[in-house]
Chain A
Amino acid sequence: MRLNKIILSFVSALVILFSTSVVSFAKVVGDKIILGAAISLTGKYSSNGVHTQNGYNMAVDRINSMGGVKVGGKTYKFDIIYYDDESNPKRAAQLAERLISQDGVEFMLGPYSSGLTKAIAPVTEKYGVPMVEANGASRSLFTKGYKYLFAVLAPANLYLDVAIDLAVEKNNGKGVTVAMAFEQDAFSQDVRLGVLDAIKRTGSKKVIDDKLPKELNDMAATLVKVKQMKPDVLVVSGHTKGALTAIRQISEMKVDVPMLAMTHCDAAKLSKQHGKNSQYALCASQWHKTLTYKDDFFKDGMTYDADFTKEFGYAPPYQAAESSAALLVFKDAFERANSFDQKKVRDALAATNMQTFYGNIKFAPGGQNVDKPMVLFQVMCDDAGKCENKVVAPTKWASAKLIHPIPSWSKR
């Protein structure tokens, strides 16, 4: 009797295992193109992981409702298999392996952050699985010779070099003095390299070059040095922690600096958390709703912003917008390849040259998008204390004039 039970359980387990693997072991099931994504739904990147997932889902719904993807005279709809990578690179790599070898996924969407994309890229490359990613900006991703990695966003080294150019322009073309404070992670250090290049190119001078720890929550020492050295520009990149800590301590310590430029302002909800104290901060962003890029699916930035807000209840940060753009790129590539052959889709991705609501997309041989500049917005507040982010550079997209130099704290 007992033996019968054991045999029955064993056979049932085998049947279940076999049936699930049969169902999932295909990249195109019926009229569905199944993409795979390991996303940080828990752990330290979970906020941005959710933005990424919302961006993907928004694009999937929109593309599917507007006719789907046409390949070989047949219409297909997108579907995504998600796994939670727990914000852990090792887990992300395991999940990529699982998506490809167990679930049979043949096309991947990227995770959130450069670190996790770095963990996944070798796996997708090994299996020749094209991956369009939207949240890994580290320059090192694009120098490894990956053939199947495509990033819709501008690389990290371009984040803050615009700020140095802007400061030089305001200084009548003469070099400026720059104080730098960057966290010690792949992304921030790449931003730093971009700033160093800009300093060299413009004949500027670096006066402070601090590396901030990952456990960063006190920048007082750096700011005391800034007070002493009086640089023309202070650039800070340390994810949301860096942006929040910098603004809190700059306002508390009354640090006067003509230009303050940083990253992750909108992820940090800078103007919401700090109000008027964040005024005049310049923030590097991949996207802003006022940019006038257009496409057939989301129309433009303003419409995307309104639709996203309606669906998810909050305004889309750029992490969501670029994630949506990744799906538009995949759709375009499938249709041009007119095939689900990975090699053909990869070649079609490499030949991408399109405009989306998020920006122009054209990939360099390394996989980075070379056709979309970064934008800088400045936090501007009215007398009632209501703050808004307004694009001030590049001039082509500017919706407000840069306020420079930043008024001293004694005059605010």
Chain B
Amino acid sequence: MDFMVFQYPMISVQACLDGILLGILFALIAYGMALQWGVMNIINIAQGDLVILGGYIAYFMYLYGIHPAWGVIVAPVIMYFVGIAIYKLVINKVVDRDLFISILATFGISILFMQLMNFAFGADVVLANSDYGTTMLFNNNVVLPNSKIFSAFISILFAICLVIYMKKSKLGRAIRATAQNARAAKILGVDTEKVYAATFGINAALCGVAGALISITFTIHPYMGLPYTIRSFMIVIVAGLGNLPGVAMSGMGLGVFEEFADYILGTEFRIGSVFLLLVLILIYRRFKLSRKREYLK
């Protein structure tokens, strides 16, 4: 264990800011997962792979001389239709089945996507350079790459747009109604099939935005999707479904937790610490629920 992070206050500040910026990006991916989980009762194991596919869209724009930041507009549009296609081909066949079937189906989609991306784009690790420069704070002691700040800003922007869309638009209201009670919504004339397809499309579009931002901020590779799925799952578990402020807070919390775990336990335990936290939270939730049950008895 290394407690350097507490010995030098500026490292703590750096870890907090890095974690918050990273967490906002995670929260965007998790929000898509929460939306789709809440509406369709499907846990999408392929969430991270959709993110990576979005990253490749931005990367190819970069290869063809277009600034990868435009990927945050192009990737969600393409990914929306990819999402709709996945829904029509696979998800609509499992949407009313139990959760285990949907997990298996999306796990299959995940493997298929990994192999297809590997086949189409190759196994090289790639990245898109934004050349956004760096912001120095506190007498150059804290360094923030502008690409991370840009990612966080765009994530917040998309999240706000989505909240407004869900509240004001007809489709948004239909999605919320379906999430509350799909059967009642159907009786009242909501085309739930269309709502499901749109929800999956919106989730894929959010993954597309996040992927484009990840290609600018980090690196992408066909087999890198799973850690993003796990993080989203973790954030949704903590925040609960249909709770956007909760998802944002949980995302940022996870980001900061990961950064501090990296400093204290070592980089090798970074992802492991997320798993550990997930297990602890699930145990805590179970404990809380069992107490509630006893109280009700």
Assess the A254–B266 pair: CB atoms within 8 A.
Answer: no
Cα A43 to Cα B116 in complex, Å, equals 10
Assess the A241–B143 pair: CB atoms within 8 A.
Answer: no
Q: Given A217-B218, A244-B219, A273-B126, A42 and B224 touching (CB < 8 A)?
A: no
Cα A227 to Cα B136 in complex, Å, equals 13
In B104-136, the 8 Å CB interface with A consists of 115, 118-119, 122-127, 129, 134, 136
Is A220 in contact with chain B by the CB < 8 A criterion?
yes
When the two chains form the complex, which single residue of A213, A253, A269, A274 contacts B268, counting CB atoms closer than 8 Å?
A213
List residues of chain B with CB within 8 A of the CB of A213. 267-268, 270-272
Cα A241 to Cα B124 in complex, Å, equals 9
Assess the A44–B118 pair: CB atoms within 8 A.
Answer: yes
When the two chains form the complex, which single residue of A225, A241, A269, A273 contacts B221, counting CB atoms closer than 8 Å?
A241
Assess the B126–A212 pair: CB atoms within 8 A.
Answer: no
Assess the A222–B267 pair: CB atoms within 8 A.
Answer: yes
Which of B14, B136, B271 has the most A CB atoms < 10 Å from its CB? B14
Assess the B266–A217 pair: CB atoms within 8 A.
Answer: no
Is B18 in contact with chain A by the CB < 8 A criterion?
yes
Residue total for B at the interface (Cβ-Cβ under 8 A): 39
Assess the A218–B218 pair: CB atoms within 8 A.
Answer: yes
Cα A206 to Cα B159 in complex, Å, equals 45
Q: Given A241-B221, A248-B127, A253-B143, A220 and B18 touching (CB < 8 A)?
A: yes
In B53-96, the 8 Å CB interface with A consists of none
Q: How far does the Cβ of A247 sit from chain B's closest Cβ, in whole Å?
A: 10
Assess the B224–A244 pair: CB atoms within 8 A.
Answer: no
Q: How far does the Cβ of A248 sit from chain B's closest Cβ, in whole Å?
A: 6
Is B191 in contact with chain A by the CB < 8 A criterion?
no
List residues of chain B with CB within 8 A of the CB of A212. 267-268
When the two chains form the complex, which single residue of B15, B22, B127, B223 contacts A44, counting CB atoms closer than 8 Å?
B223
Cα A44 to Cα B119 in complex, Å, equals 10
Q: How far does the Cβ of B11 sit from chain A's closest Cβ, in whole Å?
A: 6
Is A84 in contact with chain B by the CB < 8 A criterion?
no
Is A221 in contact with chain B by the CB < 8 A criterion?
yes
When the two chains form the complex, which single residue of A46, A216, A224, A244 contacts B127, counting CB atoms closer than 8 Å?
A244
**Complex: chain A residue closest to B119, CB-CB:** A42
Chain A: interface size category: 35 or more
Is B240 in contact with chain A by the CB < 8 A criterion?
no
When the two chains form the complex, which single residue of A210, A241, A245 contacts B266, counting CB atoms closer than 8 Å?
A210
Interface string of A78-103 (1 = CB under 8 A from B): 00000000010000000000000000
Q: How far does the Cβ of A209 sit from chain B's closest Cβ, in whole Å?
A: 9
Q: How far does the Cβ of B152 sit from chain A's closest Cβ, in whole Å?
A: 14
Assess the A254–B134 pair: CB atoms within 8 A.
Answer: yes
Assess the A228–B8 pair: CB atoms within 8 A.
Answer: yes
A selection of 26 A-B contacts at a CB cut-off of 8 Å is A44-B123, A47-B123, A210-B267, A211-B266, A211-B268, A212-B267, A213-B268, A215-B271, A217-B219, A218-B22, A218-B270, A219-B267, A220-B18, A221-B15, A221-B18, A221-B259, A222-B267, A224-B15, A225-B11, A228-B4, A252-B145, A268-B124, A268-B125, A269-B124, A273-B126, A273-B129
List A residues at the B interface (Cβ < 8 Å). Answer: 42-47, 87, 181, 184, 210-213, 215-222, 224-225, 227-228, 239-241, 244-245, 248-249, 252-254, 268-269, 273-275
List B residues at the A interface (Cβ < 8 Å). Answer: 4, 8, 11, 14-15, 18, 22, 115, 118-119, 122-127, 129, 134, 136, 143, 145, 147, 218-219, 221-224, 226-227, 259, 262-263, 266-268, 270-272
Q: Can you add 6 more A-B contacts, CB < 8 Å, to A45-B123, A212-B267?
A: A213-B267, A221-B259, A225-B11, A228-B4, A244-B126, A268-B124
